[in-house]
Amino acid sequence: MSLTVGSRIPTATLRRKTSDGPQDVQLDDLLKGRKVVLFGLPGAFTPTCDSAHLPSFIRTKDAFAGKGVDEIICVSVNDIHVMALWGEVSGATDAGITLLADGDASFTKAIGMEFSKPEAGLIDRCKRFALVAEDGVVTVLHIDDVPSTCVLTAGEAMLDALG
């Protein structure tokens, strides 16, 4: 399946690290009856993800709340420990951004967003995308085709799309 505007986001179990240990997160539970921004990226601590993509949503978090967005979720094909540490050192966790791990890329593959760039050590990673979902249905979808660019998928571009 490839996501398009009007698509229902498929059921998925993602994971996060909590003080009690690993926790499964049912994506459906986070989307049901809510307006959510969900963005995916190639990897925590990778250059563009770390310097541009995640920071753009930290900067714009409050403006999204003003547009009725209930939660901003970042998904990456990393493990829960890497995602938790990235959230801490980047300030995303303190800003209220939810970082979820798609450790085996099953969600990324289910939505048709996987790519590999072996020469950079990136295998079955997530393309750079950002979307708005209302009650689990995609209402806005932006994809940057080049993994090292963050233009259409930046927080500011998503805010503009919400009007």
- Which listed residue (49, 74, 126, 150) is catalytic? 49
State residue 157 phi and psi, 5-degree precision.
-65, -40
Per DSSP (E only), the strands in 42-158 are 71-76, 98-101, 114-117, 122-126, 128-134, 137-144
Q: Which residues pair with 37 in a beta bridge?
A: 72, 132
Asked about 150 being catalytic, the answer comes back as no
| Closest of 160, 16, 2 to residue 98, by C-alpha | 16
Catalytic residues: 49
